[in-house]
Structure 1
Amino acid sequence: MLRRLFDRLHPALQTRVRRLRATELAVLQCALAAGLAWFLARDVVGHAEPFFAPIAAVVCLGVSLGARLRRAVELVAGVSVGILVGDLLISVIGSGAWQISVVVLLAMTTALLLDGGGVFTLQAGTSAVLVATLLPPGGSAGVNRFVDALVGGVVGIVVMSLIPADPVRSARSDVAKVLDELIASLHLVARGLTDAEEAPVLEALRRARSTQGSLDSLRANLAAGRELARIAPLRWRSRQRLAQLDATATPLDNTARNLRVLARRSLAAVRDHEQVEPRLVAQVEGTAAAMATLRAAVCSAREEVPELGPAALQLRQVAAGLTSDLGASGGLSVRVVVGQLRSAVVDLLRVAGASRVSALASLPPTVEHPAVPPDVENLDR
């Protein structure tokens, strides 16, 4: 019985262990920064109870990369606004329930008018509450708390710089997740079109739609990675790799959008019993194979910028076979599938480093251009 219970819990435990391993460095950073901030604020600066120093360090770092520099600045600014508003008002109107409401209202409104972010506004409100309830107005308590916040913010940034996370790994993982789902989606579409079955295409559509979360995470991790690569000397070498991954974000997003439409129109083609050329199915499978080559290159664990030439060559070979007659025997949905596959291959070539003009030139023309009459040619002479 215990064995069955363990087997049932095992996948959940694995998920939690993976989550811990993914954030263990961030947790270690927070722990070290909190202890160091307390030590500096109490034993070096000389504050008796510098409780806000470790809090500021942890808030600055967080558990994920995030926009830490902005967060640290907002934290200190929020403390300043909260203390200033709290000191001024409480010394005039006194303490009490309605006074706390007024202080918080004015402190958060001031922060918002100063164009503050979420941390800025929230910290202004909480600082005002502490001034109104625990810290007497006037005196040195407000100044000490501001200094503690400054110490904690600086310690957090220093710890992040000296013990930096890998700014490339998270972004690389997001790209891999997106490409894995899109590759699986194309294989399912090919199977559904071959067997004229809805179930594989429905699953393909679900998997293509599931990539949005990873795409959003990719953009957030790229922004955080660029910030970290600027302030952490040990990660300066990652700048080129991050720039290469950053260049993939938009075309990869466009690829996912194209393949979602492709999956929807494939579903319509199956439901409408449209005739599908075996050559079209082969091109869908060929695109998936080229994407697998591209994934192996883009998501390489090596620090230097990967060589994408072989993946680009394979994609160009696929593009050369995407002629307009692939959808001639089918209806509207099949022709849309061909068009979306052409667009997706162009975007994948962009992921592989090709320019848009070069990527478009890899596709066969959709219409044949008529010969220019001799008299028209003479006009150019």
Structure 2
Amino acid sequence: MNRIPLTTTAPLPVVERARGAVRDWLRGGADRGRNDALTIARAALAAGLAYLASGLIWGHEFPFFSSIVAFVIIGFGIEKKMRKVVEMAGGVMLGVLLGELARQVIGSGPWQIFIVVFCAGMLARFLDSSGLFGFQVTIQSLLVMIMPVTPGMSPGGRALDALTGVTVALLIHLLLSGNPRRLQTRAAQSFYRELEDALVSLALSARTGDRGVAGATLRTLRDVSQKYTDEWRLANDVANEMATFSPSGLRHAEDVGRIQHLLVGSDRAMRNMRMIARRQVEFLEAVRGDAHSTLADALLAARDAVQELRVAVSHEEVDFTDARRQLRLFCSYLSPEMLLRNDEGLRPGRAGHFEGVTLTVQLRSLAIDLLQATGLTSVEAKRFLPSLVIASDGDAIGPRPMTVEMKAVEPPATTEALELLIADRSDPDRRG
């Protein structure tokens, strides 16, 4: 009897999953380190300068509280809003003062620690609802109680160290915040990548007629889309404060405002994507999974336009000219006559026609949202769209010749007018 050699031609699923998990962990760690390197460097600089300043100004031999306070205020992650920085500074100072006062009055020990921490926590909750403020008040009062007094430290000396740390941290935060657009760009890049992925998935679904892919895209959008919007909104708030209070951020105020405005239309576009995915599932179900390559081409044109938006945001000079040109191409697809024919050139039945027209209208709304994100008004954006004035004959649809009355309602946009809309907002020399 011949034996079949026991050879493994592919990694076991468990091994492959473990390998993928390790890759994702390493990639995530590298991304976090790269994104937070500047913030950590600022926190480290603040800690060192605060320690040096306390030694020089107050003559304290081991002013560790200065370093602790300065590092805690700047911390990790996304640069904090000024309100959060001031909130943390206030919590730190109040906690240190409470600890110093309690240590002078009742001393330090287990029961004293219980009393001080309880009172500090209750006072913090009474003064402010923020958990961050309460944590700082409590932890700083605890540190004062449990850390020994260093040689040469006068009563209240740690309060002076804390004040020094707070001052240095605030100065570092204001003077070395860097380019406020960096935060916005990072958030916008993540947002647009999610939008691109959704459009590619829906294009694949349309080209193959697989409504399961569209359904999976819909579930993904429902799960994660709001997270990307919230991250961008937070980045806008932080960047706006940096451009207002930080001397290094003032010159970026105009671009910060443009990217803030970009979120308005982009957020509506992301919400529209959820509706588009849902409508596409229903459309493909109504046409029994017929392939629609023209619909796929339209979705890919939208993906290309989103890519151009992402590129525009990453440039030092925010310019939406290329994005508008790509959106013009996307808009050229957006009529039922173009989108509803399957790959065999057949139009859908009545049920498919209804779902298809609904999907077309939703895609037109997506185009308007993205055009408005680039700075156009609603009226200007609608000029990019082909006419929806159609005639129907049974299941057939087609353009209806426009009468004088119809032209008054829906004037056709000329090529020259569209070119002006594309370029005038991004190139001041083309205006007028």
Range of TM-score over shorter length: 0.7 to 0.9
Q: Is the 8 Å Cα contact of residues 69 and 92 (structure 2) preserved in structure 1?
A: no
Q: What's 2:77 paired with?
A: 64
Q: What's 2:298 paired with?
A: 283
Deviation of 1:148 after TM superposition, in Å, equals 1.7
Opposite residue 293 of structure 1, the aligned amino acid is E
The equivalent position to 1:146 in structure 2, one of 159, 166, 170, is 159
Q: What's 1:195 paired with?
A: 208
Give the distance between the partners of 2:155 and 2:124, measured in 1 at CA. 17
Opposite residue 219 of structure 1, the aligned amino acid is R
Q: Is the 8 Å Cα contact of residues 85 and 106 (structure 1) preserved in structure 2?
A: no
Structure with greater helix percent: 1
Opposite residue 334 of structure 1, the aligned amino acid is G
Tell me whether 122-131 or 323-332 shows the greater mean CA deviation.
323-332
Give the distance between the partners of 2:193 and 2:81, measured in 1 at CA. 30
Unaligned runs of 5+ in 1: 373-381
Q: What's 1:346 paired with?
A: 368
Give the distance between the partners of 2:260 and 2:268, measured in 1 at CA. 14
Q: What's 2:125 paired with?
A: 112
Asked whether 1:156 is paired with 2:164, we answer: no
Deviation of 1:263 after TM superposition, in Å, equals 1.4
Tell me whether 227-236 or 91-100 shows the greater mean CA deviation.
91-100
Asked whether 1:318 is paired with 2:330, we answer: yes
Deviation of 1:30 after TM superposition, in Å, equals 1.7
Opposite residue 323 of structure 2, the aligned amino acid is A
Q: Is the 8 Å Cα contact of residues 70 and 169 (structure 2) preserved in structure 1?
A: yes
The C-alpha deviation readout for 1:288-319, integer Å capped at 9, x for no partner, is 2322333322332xx23x22133224324533
Opposite residue 226 of structure 1, the aligned amino acid is N
Deviation of 1:41 after TM superposition, in Å, equals 1.0
Q: Sort the Cα spacing of 1:134 and 1:23 in 2 relative to 1 into closer, same or farther, 3 A.
A: closer
Deviation of 1:346 after TM superposition, in Å, equals 1.2
Deviation of 1:193 after TM superposition, in Å, equals 1.8
2:79 match: secondary structure: coil
Tell me whether 56-65 or 77-86 shows the greater mean CA deviation.
77-86
The equivalent position to 2:307 in structure 1, one of 289, 292, 296, is 292
Q: Is the 8 Å Cα contact of residues 262 and 336 (structure 1) preserved in structure 2?
A: no
Give the distance between the partners of 2:191 and 2:81, measured in 1 at CA. 26
Q: Is the 8 Å Cα contact of residues 206 and 295 (structure 2) preserved in structure 1?
A: no
Superposition pairs of residues 164-179 of structure 1, within 5 angstroms: 164-179=177-192
Asked whether 1:217 is paired with 2:240, we answer: no
Give the distance between the partners of 1:299 and 1:262, measured in 2 at CA. 27
Give the distance between the partners of 1:240 and 1:267, measured in 2 at CA. 41
Asked whether 1:233 is paired with 2:247, we answer: yes
Tell me whether 184-193 or 358-367 shows the greater mean CA deviation.
358-367
Deviation of 1:256 after TM superposition, in Å, equals 1.1
Q: What's 1:256 paired with?
A: 270
Give the distance between the partners of 2:306 and 2:366, measured in 1 at CA. 10
Superposition pairs of residues 302-381 of structure 1, within 5 angstroms: 303-304=316-317, 306-319=318-331, 321-323=333-335, 326=339, 329=348, 330=352, 332-364=354-386
The C-alpha deviation readout for 1:98-119, integer Å capped at 9, x for no partner, is 6544433332332233235333
Tell me the TM-score normalized by structure 2.
0.71
Q: Is the 8 Å Cα contact of residues 68 and 157 (structure 1) preserved in structure 2?
A: no
Q: Is the 8 Å Cα contact of residues 252 and 351 (structure 1) preserved in structure 2?
A: yes
Q: Sort the Cα spacing of 1:128 and 1:161 in 2 relative to 1 into closer, same or farther, 3 A.
A: closer
Q: Is the 8 Å Cα contact of residues 324 and 371 (structure 2) preserved in structure 1?
A: yes
Q: Sort the Cα spacing of 1:350 and 1:299 in 2 relative to 1 into closer, same or farther, 3 A.
A: farther
Deviation of 1:349 after TM superposition, in Å, equals 0.6
Unaligned runs of 5+ in 2: 1-14, 341-346, 391-401, 406-432
Give the distance between the partners of 1:180 and 1:71, measured in 2 at CA. 29
Give the distance between the partners of 1:88 and 1:370, measured in 2 at CA. 86
Q: What's 1:28 paired with?
A: 41
The equivalent position to 1:247 in structure 2, one of 243, 261, 265, is 261
Give the distance between the partners of 1:142 and 1:268, measured in 2 at CA. 74
Q: Is the 8 Å Cα contact of residues 36 and 78 (structure 2) preserved in structure 1?
A: no
Give the distance between the partners of 1:33 and 1:263, measured in 2 at CA. 48
Q: Is the 8 Å Cα contact of residues 206 and 292 (structure 2) preserved in structure 1?
A: no
Q: Sort the Cα spacing of 1:142 and 1:356 in 2 relative to 1 into closer, same or farther, 3 A.
A: farther
Tell me whether 213-222 or 90-99 shows the greater mean CA deviation.
90-99
The C-alpha deviation readout for 1:21-46, integer Å capped at 9, x for no partner, is 22222222122211111111123222
The C-alpha deviation readout for 1:125-165, integer Å capped at 9, x for no partner, is 123334555579xxx86733332222112212333344433
Opposite residue 271 of structure 2, the aligned amino acid is R
Superposition pairs of residues 8-23 of structure 1, within 5 angstroms: 12-23=25-36
Give the distance between the partners of 1:294 and 1:248, measured in 2 at CA. 9
Q: Sort the Cα spacing of 1:83 and 1:161 in 2 relative to 1 into closer, same or farther, 3 A.
A: closer
Give the distance between the partners of 1:98 and 1:323, measured in 2 at CA. 76
Q: Is the 8 Å Cα contact of residues 290 and 311 (structure 1) preserved in structure 2?
A: yes
Give the distance between the partners of 1:312 and 1:13, measured in 2 at CA. 38
The C-alpha deviation readout for 1:230-282, integer Å capped at 9, x for no partner, is 34433332222211111111221211111122112322333444567654444
Opposite residue 196 of structure 2, the aligned amino acid is I
Opposite residue 321 of structure 2, the aligned amino acid is G
Opposite residue 357 of structure 2, the aligned amino acid is R
Aligned-residue RMSD, C-alpha? 3.5
Q: What's 1:379 paired with?
A: none
